Structure 1
């Protein structure tokens, strides 16, 4: 049975990338989560998917234009209609301190330049050191710049390539950047590619898998982990099929 990662916590059940969403994943018995990181103006790691604030908070402007303290005052529940309680944008520090129960994190870094990559990776390393999470974190990204810098700089944590389009061979790319994870859009996950990636020593994680039939098919195919918006449903389904 593949491992289950809650996508942005439990995105289909609570406002994404908020403490409420991660609590919902934990309540479902899912102790692995995937989440997104952006830097605040004062270079703190904030848990939010978009570079802009509009979709989840209704505010204008970019994440990078606000301090961590300002961002943590915003209400990020707009990503899920009908949620009654305010849900502040959390920092990664908050997330780590709130949930010692989590066994593993996929930290997807939304990053561009080498300078940004250096700041982000240093900040991740400091928090991982502080919370003693060295065996519980993989830093993932679709940014070749970030992955190349991580390899060149001797970054000590595992890394993973996030691949959505597959225009170039994702397995070769993951190997080139020294990755140990390959995070594939479900459309790219074929039996042949899965076998090749696993033979190359890569952990293959597939996103975003919500439909029961697709979930079961990928589980039967032998993927290492599945990322889903509905972790409770995924756990129940896979236990039934086990």
Structure 2
């Protein structure tokens, strides 16, 4: 039976708006989140960095350049510095606590992108009482270990890259694998380079461990159907309208 926790309190398969629906060009903004939630999304994937003065903010890249066209590293700027950053006149770097407070009914999948964001993120989750409605993720196994330690295993987590590799090998060879108790999902791409990850064997193995399988970042309708046919429990997409239509066509859309 799949691990059921407060974060996973909706019928699978789950639909995740990746960065709020990055295909529209305003990723990780309150506008993007509001648009996805308005479409009926209950799960939103997002990213966190911390400012120089320890404020966790919603942003994917370590620098402002790609999204805003301006120079500067998030870790070197204060929150006051970021409040003046605008694109088209609109603020583009929200604080984590603002987003959590704005949508208390939404589950947030939070990728902590740098070591400096670990403690500020955990402190914010504790202060706003959001521990039951977030999942903490990272590519870094060491960063995830710190997140689990600081939250004392009380917040849902996924797996880092090394742990995913071990999980995939274990699924191929049928070997037992012990994971931290807070791990409720394997969040993976369909393949790493030429190496496939998400086949039926992998999905079945994860299910036997009590894990859900969430796949990122899928924007093609045919691939979405294929993954759902393999039994995955969630899909992350930049194209929120496409995924909604696929789920509707299969009777999965419960918003």
Q: TM-score range by the shorter chain?
A: 0.7 to 0.9
User: Could you tell me which residue of structure 1 aligns to residue 96 of structure 2?
Assistant: 92
Distance in 2 between residues matched to 1:237 and 1:47, nearest whole Å: 28
- The one of 102, 110, 114 aligned to 2:113: 110
Question: Structure 2 residue aligned with 1:224, among 225, 229, 233?
Answer: 233
Residues 1-242 of structure 1 correspond to what in structure 2 (within 5 A)?
2-75=13-86, 77=87, 86-102=90-106, 104-112=107-115, 116=116, 120-153=117-150, 154-163=152-161, 167-170=165-168, 175-178=178-181, 179-187=183-191, 188-242=197-251
CA contact (8 A) 2:140 2:161 kept: no
8 Å contact 2:168–2:202 — kept in the other structure? no
Rounded Cα–Cα distance in structure 1 between residues aligned with 2:63 and 2:168:
28
Instruction: Give ranges in structure 2 of 5+ residues lacking alignment.
Output: 1-11, 171-176, 192-196
Moved more, 155-164 or 59-68: 155-164
Cα deviation for residue 157 of structure 1 reads 1.0
* Counterparts of 2:219 and 2:89, CA distance in 1: 25
Indicate conservation of the 8 Å contact 1:164/1:184, yes or no.
no
